[in-house]
Amino acid sequence: MDNTATTTTSVEVPRGLAGVVVTDTALGDVRGREGFYHYRQYSAVELAERRSFEDVWYLMFRGALPDRERSAAFAAEIAPLRHLPAEVRDALPALARATALSGPLAGLRTALSLLGAAAGFRPVYDLGPERRAADALAACAAVPTLLTALHRLGQGLEPVEPRDDLPYAANYLYMLTGQEAGPAEVRAVERYLISTIDHGFNASTFTGRVIASTGADVVACLTGAIGALSGPLHGGAPSRALDTLDAIGSTDRIDGWIRERVLAGDRIMGFGHPVYRTEDPRSRMLRGIAREFGGPLVDFAVEVEARVEAILAELKPGRELHTNVEFYAGVVMELCGLPREMFTPTFCVARVVGWSANVLEQAADSKIIRPAARYSGPTPPQVVPVMG
């Protein structure tokens, strides 16, 4: 018997569950007032500056940073998992055609489900920790291959097979473009990917954990998380932030464009975050990466950022609004040659590791996540009318 409804009438719950603690986690935390977040016991930004993507993946899955020997062994373990089963690979052209208007992220939901079915993924409820982790590893490794194949097929190009000799970020760019990227581009994208692996109980991570609490298989959890990520208010903003720069167009239009939007109450994409009350540390890091490249786009982005903050301080005093990760992520990905339709999918290439780590952590708890809602309709009971 479900008695949940009888215990919630006097509980005041904030909209969007803001600030509500739903469980414990050892994976990391976001300290919004300090402008700091971490993966396990390490600063996420420092990890992005000092470690490889594979090392941080190892940390999230296995609880500690690897030494050189373990790092090399983990990279060797991942590499063969990038290759798709024949039945999945053969289905991708039709899937790319079917999702031509909606894009690779929509195609990924179906492709990943097919991969899980073809590989025989079973509910995490029925599996031990090692098998769960193996399924999660396989799913994560396949995501870049699926996304790049769907993108290329959608452009009328043949997919590029993954290379076992390239690290995660370099291999992703290679499969996307068909050419090896330069070291500066690879390292810039790798730092971005590391910085977006995990970020607290955001909408997609929480979605994945809710599904994991039902005991569903790993791929079911990940496809639900991808669905949440696709929303413009979550992961769908990097290209929109860059579209903002395009809409402004030139330095002489900055102030007028921003004032018009602020006074109209419109949201300026790439600014503001529901957790941070100071500068987003990911944005700070990505601004630094952008400045390493330099050029007109970077100069323009920096000027727009400064003017948005100044005009907001003038028109809405006391309301701090800083750039979030999407603003400079769009700039960096543009500089590295990624097409805009792949900005959010690239975010997914990183976040799938964080989702999976959360799924594995949640799977260790057999309690299903089952919140309640406060009923606000007509007062029951009413007599059900008899049909005449």
pLDDT on residue 322: 78
Higher pLDDT residue, 176 or 381?
A: 176
Does residue 48 surpass a pLDDT of 90?
yes
Sequence-distant (≥ 6) Cβ neighbours of residue 268 within 8 angstroms = 244, 258, 261, 262, 308, 321
Choosing among 1.10.230.10, 1.10.3720.10, 1.10.287.3510, 2.30.30.90, the CATH entry for 238-335 is: 1.10.230.10
Known catalytic residue: 273? yes
Every domain of the chain and the residues it spans: 44-232+342-363, 238-335
pLDDT tens-digit profile of 243-275?
889 999 999 999 999 899 888 888 777 777 767
Tokens of 330: 């769009």
pLDDT tens-digit profile of 352-377?
999 999 999 999 998 999 988 888 89
Known catalytic residue: 326? yes
pLDDT on residue 388: 67
> What share of the chain in percent tops pLDDT 90?
67
The reply to whether omega before 123 is within 30° of 0 (cis) is no
pLDDT on residue 270: 73
What is the pLDDT of the chain when averaged over all its residues?
Answer: 90
Choosing among 3.30.465.10, 1.10.580.10, 3.40.50.880, 2.60.120.10, the CATH entry for 44-232+342-363 is: 1.10.580.10
Task: Catalytic residue, from 273, 305, 322, 334: name it.
Answer: 273
Task: Catalytic residue, from 54, 185, 305, 326: name it.
Answer: 326
Give the confidence band of 5 by pLDDT, cuts at 50, 70, 90. very low
Rounded to an integer, the average pLDDT of 70-98 is 97
pTM for the whole structure:
0.91
pLDDT on residue 7: 45
The CA-based dihedral angle spanning residues 340, 345, 349, 352, taken in that order and rounded to the nearest 10 degrees: 150
Does residue 161 surpass a pLDDT of 50?
yes
pLDDT on residue 268: 78
- In DSSP terms, which residues pair with 29 in a beta bridge? 38
